[in-house]
Chains A and B, each alone.
Chain A
Amino acid sequence: MKKTLALLLVLILTLSMTAMASAEPVKLVIAARGGSHVDVINAVKADFEKENNCTIEVLGLENTDLKQKMALDSRNAKGAYDIVMLDDPWMPEVTEAGLLLNLTQAGYADDADFVKTSLALGKAPYGTGDTFALPFAGNVTLLFYNEAVLSAAGAQVPDSWQGVLDIAKAVNGKDGKIGYVIRGQQGNPIVGDFLPVLWAYGGDIFDADWNVLVDSAEAKAALNLYIELLANGKNFEKNDIVSSVANGTAAMSLGWPSWYIVGGASTAGYAKIPGKAAPDSVEYPSGVIGNWLMGIPANTQNTELAIKLLTYLTSAATQKAAASVGAVPTRVSVFTDAELSQKYPFYATLLAATEQSVERPRTPKWGDIENVFGIELSNAITGIKTVDQALADAKVAIENAIK
């Protein structure tokens, strides 16, 4: 038995040594959002590795894990990552915490080829300050619609939310069709789905002095319309939203382009999100911009090479090459490239929508705000609270969140 025990310990020791031996040599490491972004980086990294005699490892992580890892690694004198991907609303939080290298101070000069609204996301303070991150992957919410359903209803693509509601009313319930699909799950889904309506009505979450505006008359009108859309439609999760609009069960929804568009083909019609409440109302920018940015952690051990890699990954040539593996560009020259425009006809709509998009409020507390606002929006659409009560409570909750 002693022999068995000794053998067991030797086995454990050997396995542990194997585990230790798997320590990776020094290399450039990119902490990225898992999924298609990892595939894109892996598809274009070879040229850089060859030219710079280095290896690039891409660590694809779930959203929350990525942010958590970035924060944890920042306490190390020698950072584990050379480039990190960031969802654009994280920028105020990570720059205030000093997690990112100031690219402007490191000698990076802004490139005017980036779409202005995308480049602005990587600056701190937003739009006017130094550049801390560059836009790697473009994204903006669009209106998606089923062409056959709209055509059968004798409707054109709506340019106002009243128009969206009119079509939803005309379609809903006829032959089992759904007029409009909202994404009403608490938190990020419902907030992202409602913000374009709020903005189109001239409302917002904050004014320029950070006073909370969610109980304004505009916000109430927007939420009433949103509830009316639900009354003439359904509340689905994203996969079901896409399938219902794509197969003609539903007429319209909002969504991120990558849900519907694969390669050059889209499973539904697409247009810029209506920016006005009614046909004769004032038009406002209304699409939510949602770029993934890339920055360099302040504690990277390879600053120069990391800047070079960041510049390479966001260059026009790389974005053009990456388009074939599904990357959405952030540069005007790539969006308007003749060859790509022919292959990916949605680029023109996406560029126009990005140029007229709105960023989510630039505050380090955005995560908390999104959470509490989402709860109250959910309370309103499920009838737990009246619109007035839900928005009044949302105001108090948001004010508490930003204290």
Chain B
Amino acid sequence: MRETLVSRGTRKLLVAVFMVWTMFPVYWMLSLAIRGGGELFGALNLLPRSFSLEHFADLFNTKAFDVAIGNSLQVTLISLLLALLFGMSCAYVLARARFRFKMKGAMLFWVLLLRILPPIAFALPLYILMSDAGLLSTKIPLILSHLLINIPFIIWFMITFFEALPIEVEESAAVDGATEHQLFTRIVIPQVLPGLTAVSILAFMTSWNEYLYAAIFVQSPSQFTIPLALSTLNSEQELTQWGNIAAGGVLSLVPIALFVLFAQNFLIVGLSGGAVKE
């Protein structure tokens, strides 16, 4: 009994330490964002001594942060929808042996290779392609580059979910006259919703925070995404604007936090499911 209490106490302590360790950066970002500018100059207290929304106001009034949020939403949502459409379909095809898909192993390796290679390896060829196609002044290169990152991830994430589904259900539906499209959308997709939710949020986060391709493809301040807008707030010439950077970080956290909040049940099942093939 005593041993149980000790081990329970140790567990609670470890959880508490882990919580502080993981949550402190978020707290610190939030606390920097809401302090007045004067308080950020010099030694900082753990707790804010003033409250101000000046950094948030400054971002919108002088840094066109609303434009950056709009651009990030546009690029992220378009690329996410397209990546899910292509990635889910591809994962399903690769997962089902009944398609008699040859070269499955090689195909999977090829897809994986896109994730293994560093993104910078694709940057110059993509830049040349987009430049030659005259697309550099649009958001299309950015959307396509996000597809390049997310489609392989979605395929690899979802393939285990599809493979874990009992094929008999699909066979019964097929016997009942369901077309391939009906089978996929009405029978298969509802069964992998937790996985779909999890992969959506992870792909959303990847796209939302993507910096490298944005830095290469974006040609106009009117197309700045949030990471690009934040990057210009620190220069050798001036002191780092920690308040504005923290406020930008808080704002960029909001969509992801909301998504996770509403989809947390699906997310937990999705992240833990599919990992083990039965």
Are B237 and A139 neighbours in the complex by a CB distance under 8 Å? yes
**Residues of A contacting B234 with CB < 8 Å?**
62
Cα–Cα, bound, A69→B41 (Å): 33
For chains A and B in complex, what number of residue pairs have CB atoms within 8 angstroms? 122
In the complex, are the beta carbons of B239 and A59 less than 8 A apart? no
Question: How far is B237's CA from A137's CA once the two chains are assembled, in angstroms?
Answer: 10
In the assembled complex, the CB of A74 is this many whole angstroms from the nearest CB of chain B, namely 11
Partner pick for A20 among B42, B140, B216, B231, CB 8 A cutoff:
B140
Q: Are A15 and B136 in contact (CB under 8 A)?
A: no
Would you call B78 and A19 a contact (CB within 8 A)?
A: yes
- Contact among B127, B131, B185, B223 for A22, CB-based, below 8 A: B223
Q: Could you tell me if B237 and A23 are in contact, using CB atoms closer than 8 angstroms?
A: no
A90-98, A146-154, A235-243, A339-347 - interface stretch: A235-243
User: Quick check: B131 and A59 within 8 Å, CB to CB?
Assistant: no
Question: In the complex, are the beta carbons of A24 and B216 less than 8 A apart?
Answer: no
**Residue A37, interface by CB 8 Å:** yes
Q: Given A22-B223, A60-B221, check contact A256 B236 (CB 8 Å).
A: yes
- CA–CA, A60 to B186, complex, Å? 48
A1, A37, A242: the one contacting B182 at CB < 8 Å is A1
For chain A, the bracket of interface size reads 35 or more
Q: How far is the CA of A61 from the CA of B185 in the complex (A)?
A: 44
CB-contacts of A5-37 with B (<8 A): 5, 8, 11-12, 15-16, 18-20, 22-24, 29, 33-37
In the complex, which of the residues A80, A239, A243 contacts B136, with contact meaning CB atoms closer than 8 Å? Answer: A80
Interface string of A24-57 (1 = CB under 8 A from B): 1000010001111111000000000000000001
Identify the A interface with B (CB < 8 A).
Answer: 1-2, 5, 8, 11-12, 15-16, 18-20, 22-24, 29, 33-39, 57-63, 65, 68-69, 72, 75-76, 80, 137, 139, 188, 238-239, 242-244, 246-247, 249, 256, 258-259, 290, 292
* Interface CB pairs A-B, < 8 A, 5: A34-B232, A35-B232, A36-B235, A39-B62, A60-B232
Q: Which residues of B contact A (CB under 8 A)?
A: 41-43, 62, 74-75, 77-78, 81-82, 85, 124, 127-128, 131, 136-140, 143, 181-182, 185-186, 215-216, 219-223, 228, 231-240, 242
| Top 9 A-B pairs, shortest CB-CB distance | A34-B232, A19-B139, A243-B42, A62-B231, A35-B235, A65-B215, A23-B137, A1-B185, A20-B138
